[in-house]
Chain A
């Protein structure tokens, strides 16, 4: 049955989605088995090859300790993919649940929720996240907390709007009149009908999370050196920017390409799931 569904949908799969999925597949491969893909140990110093420009032996060049940039970019994909997933999935779950409840019950909870949304969207996202990390202290875990504290609002808002539409549908009244419990109506009946725009937003949000994670890494608020993370790598390279621009360029390129992968895939999901944005 799955195969039948796929074969019906695959021919419509546009080339952009195909490229997006290919990119994500490559990044995933790098993250799962860096030792298979990377030509060198990302932490091995080589004092005979300091600040080498890109050559056949070091395609992305080397840094001030002679470490292979390509291997470091590949090793960093592990952390960045982790950021993309955890920084969005926590908000996805929490936000969807809150959106589901306030959308269904309305009333005081909904009014309070509305004020919280107003409050959060008043601040630029990055500024708010940086402020929270600054209070909690830098580090990956604190970064997840900061993104989660702000990010759930967007999922909840999306979910709430969709639930309010679904709630008006007769099948909800039918479920109530059949004597089903509220949790059953919420999770079995409304959630599967309301989740699609949220899923699409989730995939697109991963692109933003990659950018956000490396921004915070660059600013020294996210992943801490010596952890290889694309933002951290760019920050490492900025001191040698005039002599060795490849140290910044390739990790930066990795951020762009990976972000593109998520964006293209997210757009494809939107088309496949027929979500209007």
Chain B
């Protein structure tokens, strides 16, 4: 398979801060990210590590008190400096997004048919009848049975899983090249989670889309992603192919994170959480943000570790990168 040279999406040294009454909070602090066509990138991290903010910065839907610096290149154009008009043409048509809460992400007063139709009106030139046909096709594509009958239902008549499917159908309406999925399965129960993930994977394959999947569930990542980026305190800790990250973590945080995962082969073994809390983001962080919780920390960690290449396509910002043991247990 040929690897395209220029990535579809390239985030370059992005900083996002929120101006609050108590000073500014640095949610994302110098982030680099690349997504190639057809690739599934898992963006992992704890709550508050900046995953969702990253997605929302890319599409520029943050609250007005957010300051975004850096560059986000989409097919060579900088999204952050794009005009509102051009941006609106990219949103929905080229980059689509689905959300964590299917309960609130659909407009409660409009039937599903109208919400799909609206996306089709905005981004296609189809006529009325063709749009209706396409809407039924889309609902069928995301696995809603009897799509034609369910089309005119309101969101409250759908279950959580069906709403997420409907949300995906709306996002896919204009055939986007990149799907941003912001914890799409967190609000759903486990069996539905699995169905939705399989659906997303199938769609990525069938439609040749790329996807950024934000999650805090490493199991989900292992199942679905080809590339992983681990975030901590608004920075990339480690990024690379999923096997490399899971078997040969080269960042102390990833290592600790993988060790804290429950082991399904041994029941009733105490969990090994990472002690301590993530750092506060409302004051500048000197050096590696993980130092206070890190068992591998050494004096050089007090200055910010550079991101270095540690393997093929595998980068890490950790001074202990080559001291960490490989993991034998597959996740």
Residues of chain A touching chain B, judged by Cβ–Cβ distance below 8 Å, are: 106-107, 169-171, 173-181, 184, 188-189, 192-193
Contact = CB atoms under 8 A, between A and B. Distances in A.
A169 B104 contact: yes
Given A170-B104, A174-B105, A193-B107, A179 B123 contact: yes
Interface stretch (B3-11, B91-99, B199-207, B286-294): B91-99
16 contacts: A170-B100, A171-B107, A173-B61, A173-B99, A173-B105, A174-B106, A177-B59, A177-B180, A178-B91, A178-B96, A178-B122, A179-B88, A180-B118, A180-B122, A181-B88, A188-B110
B243 interface: no
Contacts of A180: 88, 92, 118, 122
Contacts of B96: 177-178
Contact of A179 (B90, B99, B104, B180): B90
Contacts of A177: 59, 61, 91-92, 95-97, 180
Contacts of A170: 99-101, 104-105
DSSP majority for the A interface? helix
Contacts of B261: none
B41 to A, nearest CB: 18
Given A170-B99, A189-B110, 10 more contacts: A106-B64, A170-B104, A171-B104, A171-B106, A176-B61, A177-B59, A177-B92, A179-B92, A180-B122, A193-B108
A176 B56 CA distance: 11
A96 to B, nearest CB: 16
Contacts of B119: 178
A175 B107 contact: yes
A189 B108 CA distance: 9
B266 interface: no
A25 to B, nearest CB: 29
B95 to A, nearest CB: 8
Contact of A174 (B88, B108, B123, B167): B167
A164 to B, nearest CB: 12
Contacts of B228: none
B170 interface: yes
Contacts of A174: 97, 99, 105-106, 167, 170
Contacts of A171: 104-108
Contacts of A184: 118
A244 B99 CA distance: 71
Nearest to B171: A178
A178 B173 CA distance: 10
Which 7 pairs of residues, A with B, have the shortest CB-CB distance? A179-B92, A179-B91, A178-B92, A170-B105, A170-B104, A177-B97, A179-B88
Interface centre among A170, A173, A176, A177 (most CB of B within 10 A): A177
B245 to A, nearest CB: 28
A178 B107 contact: no
A180 B88 CA distance: 7
B270 interface: no
Contacts of B100: 170
A188 B105 contact: no
